[in-house]
Amino acid sequence: MLTVSNLRTHFHTGRGIVRAVDGVSFNLARGRTLGIVGESGSGKTVLVRSLLGLLPSTAKFGGETEIGFEGRPLDIRSETALNQVRGRAIAMVFQDPMTSLNPVMTVGAQITESLRYHLGLTGGEARERAVALIDSVGIPMARQRIDQHPHQLSGGLRQRVAIAIALACEPKLLIADEPTTALDVTIQAEILDLLARQQAERDMAMILITHDLGVVAGRADDIAVMYAGRIVERAPTARLFANMRMPYTQALMNAIPRLEAPPNTPLRTIGGRPPDLVNPPPGCRFAPRCPRAESRCTDHEPPLEGGESGHRFACWYPVGEPGAA
């Protein structure tokens, strides 16, 4: 359904060119879920916003970037081309519903807006469709909620409204950008379960963005790990967790708190800090923080190459093979 080839999204700033997404390629089939994982600043959100053209004017795309959707080229530089798919065939659930929802418009007005624009529905027909959508995402008293404003709803209900807006035109691809941020743990599980049910019912493809490997462990078919604007490891979910090859992926996994750990156990962190994307280091961008790095890592950039069963990783000395002492 979706083909991304050599996507490069750069921002022109006073300090220089920020290479936020630097040569990312992947494919996504109908009905499948791709989880994209990485630290804050790794380029996850810029990657998916690039697909919909939701970027400031300082953003520029590389000339070799090619995007295909449903077998046809998608020109992400053209507002006309994007308007034909944005909200209709490709929809997005944003990270914080309090800022993505319009505070002065009712819930119903925000849902019916896309129904009127994309499907041509009017008046009572659009309103009834909005009520059905509110009910389908698990919001009680849908006919009362439709006339409320976002500030009258809890965080969990606001995120359900955002999901209803995204699902209004029955998209073929849903992008969820950290949809459980700022929600408590029980509400997080409910939102993720809701997305999974809606995906199964509608046979949608989905891209799930998160910084937590635990979130995508049981909810994604494939996982792509991003670091400093690039995908450094990609594999089917079960294979990735069974045999992580990239030291950065292993470091992310080790940073997850363990329930079985004794009280007062220090949390594990990844040493150092992410690279400056205006002036990234030569070779492997993770090398300055990697315990397995050797001189080859700082001299030559490792390609994203594959092992068996679609497992690809960019590392000269992967986990499980001989490397630095």
Kindly report, residue by residue over 227-237, the tens digit of the pLDDT. Answer: 999 999 999 99
Pick from 239, 163, 154, 150: nearest CA to 198? 163
**DSSP, residue by residue, 254-294:** HTS--TTSPTTPPPP--SS-PPPSSSPPSS-TTGGG-TT--
Enter the pTM of the model.
0.92
Kindly report, residue by residue over 29-51, the tens digit of the pLDDT. Answer: 999 999 999 998 999 999 999 99
Q: Does domain 2-78+214-313 match CATH 2.60.40.420?
A: no
Kindly report, residue by residue over 178-227, the tens digit of the pLDDT. Answer: 988 777 888 888 999 999 999 999 999 999 999 888 889 889 999 999 99
In terms of phi and psi (left: phi > 0; alpha: psi -120 to 50; beta: otherwise), the region of 182 is left
- Residues 20 and 59: their CA atoms lie apart, in Å, by 9
Give φ, ψ of 36 to 5 degrees.
-110, 120
In the chain, where are the structural domains located? Answer: 2-78+214-313
Report, in this order, helix, strand and coil percent for the chain, each rounded to 5: 35, 20, 45
